[in-house]
Structure 1
Amino acid sequence: MRNGYTLYSPFKNTMWQTPPPVTHSIPNDKAHSYPYARWFIKDNSELFFEGYTPFVRAARDTKGREVVIKLISDGRASPELEILKFLNTEKAREDPRNHTIPVIEFLTLETLTFVVMPRWGDLCLAGFATVHEVLHFAKIFLEAFVFLHENRIAHLDFLEQNAAIDALYPSRPRRDIEGLRDPSSARYCVMDFDYSSRYSADMSLDDVRETKPVDRLGNSPEPYNPFAVDFYACASRLQRWTRHIENVVPELGSFFEKVMQVDLKRGTQASEALQSFMELYNKVPESVLSQKIDTFLWAKGAARRKPWLQDSA
C-alpha cells in the first residue's frame, strides 16, 4: 500500500486480468457518493479488473472505494496531463456538460506523474431498460463533445472502452440491471485522453487542421479537421447504441442519416447535432419515454434484440 491505495495484483500468467486485494473485502456501506461509482455487485468475485495496458491499474483506498491509477507522464510534456488538469479546474467542473472522468488526485513519484480516478463500469455490457434511458445516454455524450470542442479539445479516440458509467456491476451474465441507467441517477463520462490534443482558444473550430494519424482516416496524408473526425467517432458510436429504438422514436432514423454525413472540414457539427437532438428529445411524450424496450444495439442497418432475451426464449 502506498498513498493509501492497495493495488490489484495481476495473476502470474497474465498482466490483463487482476483480482481485487484479498485482504480488503468490499465495504458493508456501498453508498459511496460522487465521484465514486454506485454499486450493483455482491462480492469481490464480481470486481475483476481487465486492463489492457501495464500503465493502468485498479486499486482500493482505505475506505474500500474502487479507483483506477494511471501513469500519464514520465517527466516529459504530456498533453493528457494538461488536459486532465484543465478539465478538473473549478470553472470547468461547474459546466454541467463536462461529462469527463473526474480526477481524485495527481500523484508524483520522482519524474513520474499518476492520475487517480474513480473506477467506473463498462459502458455498454448491460442493457437499456427504457426509451428514456437510451435518449439520456445519447444526450450526455453529445453534450460532452460540445463541451470538449468549445474548449478546443479533440479526444480523437472515442470508443466504448474510452467511456464509462458511474456504476460497478457484474459483467456476466449480460442483462438489464434495475436502476443502473436510471436518468435521475446515472452518469456517463468520456475518459482516456492519451491521443487527445488541445488547440488555441482563439482558433475557429472550422479552421483547425491536424495531420497526426488517426485510425478512422487510415494513412491519409491530407490535413483534417480534428473536431470533425471526433464528431464522426461520437456519432457512429451513438448510432450503434441509440438508433435501435427507431421503431418507437422514428425521428432517430432521419437524425442519424443526417449527422453521419460528416463534413471533415467543419468543426462545429457537434453543437449542431446536439441542438437537433434536443428538439427531437423534447418532443417525445412521457408515455414513449417510459416504454420498455427489447433491443440492444444497431448494427448493419438493423436493430438487434437483446441477446439474453434470445437465450431465454
Structure 2
Amino acid sequence: MDAIHVASSRRVCLKRIALPAEQSVELQIIQFLSSEQRQKDPRNHAVPLLDVLRAHDHCFLILPLCRSLFPPIELFNTLGEGLDFVDQTLEGFAYLHEVGIAHRDCAISNMVMDADKMLPHSFHPDFLTKDMRARRLRGVRSRTHVAGVKYYFIDFGESMKFDSTENVRIDVWSKASIHAPETLDDDRPPYDPFKVDIWAAGTTYANVLVKVRHFRTVQLLF
C-alpha cells in the first residue's frame, strides 16, 4: 500500500506485520538500523523506517517508496552500473554483519533503489511501466546519466541480530527464496548465517549479471 507521509511529504509504502509492534523482531531490527547514529553511516543500506502505526494485534511500518529491481525492467545498461550495484550491496552486507545482523533472505526481490533521479515523473507502485498517474513512463534516465542511484535492503522478516559475530551457528529454517546447500537438509548441522548471506548474495549477482544481463566479463567470476 502506498501513501504520502505528511510530516516529510514523501511518497511511502506501508508494510503490515501480523504481530503487535512490541513482539516484532523485524521492527526491532529496522528501528536499530534507522537510529540517527546508524543513518549517518553511508555504509548502511537498510531502508530507513519513517514511522510505525500500531494496533493491538498488528502494526504497519512506514517506509520510503523505492523502486523494485524485480522483475528486471530497467536493470543495468552497462557493466559499470551492474558493478556499482554489487559494490553498494556488498558494502551494505558488510555493515549489517559488522553490527551483528544476518539478513537471511538476500534475493533481488529484497533489494531496491531510490529511483527519483531516474524517473522524473515518479512511478506507479503496482505497475512499474506506468508513472504515478498510471500513464506510460516518460523521460526515463539511465543510472549513468544521473551519476548513480542508492540501493537499499528491505524485508528483515527473516533477519536475526547477534551480540557477536564470532563462531555464530544456528539451526533455523528460513523462508528465503535462495538457500545455501548447508541449510537444505532436514538433518543439517548448525550453520553460519553470515556466510549463508554471502553465498545467497553471490547467487543473486550471478543470476542478475550473467543470466539476465549476459555480461560475459562477469561470467568468468562465477
Q: Which has the higher contact order (CA 8 A, sep 6+)?
A: 2
Normalising by the residue count of structure 2, what TM-score does the alignment of the two structures yield?
0.75
In the TM superposition, what is the alpha-carbon distance from 1:195 to its structure 2 partner? 0.7
In the TM superposition, what is the alpha-carbon distance from 1:103 to its structure 2 partner? 1.4
Stretches (4+) displaced over 4 A: none
The structure whose Rg is larger is 1
Structure 1: tracts of 5 or more residues without a match: 1-56, 258-313
Normalising by the residue count of structure 1, what TM-score does the alignment of the two structures yield?
0.55
* Aligned-pair Cα RMSD in Å: 2.8
Identity between Structure 1 and Structure 2 (%): 28
In the TM superposition, what is the alpha-carbon distance from 1:125 to its structure 2 partner? 2.1
Query: Where does residue 106 of structure 1 map in the other structure?
Result: 52
Of 154, 172, 194, 2:157 maps to 194
Query: Where does residue 110 of structure 2 map in the other structure?
Result: 162
Work out the CA distance in 1 between the residues paired with 2:142 and 2:113: 9
1:276-301 Cα distance to aligned partner (Å, 9 max, x none)? xxxxxxxxxxxxxxxxxxxxxxxxxx
Of 172, 178, 195, 1:212 maps to 172
Pairing of 1:122-271 with structure 2 (within 5 A)? 122-123=68-69, 124-167=72-115, 168-169=122-123, 171-172=128-129, 178-182=140-144, 184-201=147-164, 203-204=165-166, 207-214=167-174, 216=179, 217-221=183-187, 222-243=189-210, 244=213, 246-247=215-216, 250=217, 252-254=218-220, 256-257=221-222
Q: Counterpart of 1:230 in structure 2: which amino acid?
A: D
Q: Counterpart of 2:3 in structure 1: which amino acid?
A: A
In the TM superposition, what is the alpha-carbon distance from 1:208 to its structure 2 partner? 0.5
Of 16, 33, 42, 1:71 maps to 16
Query: Where does residue 80 of structure 1 map in the other structure?
Result: 26
Q: How many pairs were matched up? A: 194
Structure 2: tracts of 5 or more residues without a match: 116-121, 131-136
In the TM superposition, what is the alpha-carbon distance from 1:166 to its structure 2 partner? 1.1
Does structure 1 retain, via aligned residues, the 8 Å contact 2:79–2:215? no
Work out the CA distance in 2 between the residues paired with 1:238 and 1:179: 23
Query: Where does residue 60 of structure 1 map in the other structure?
Result: 4
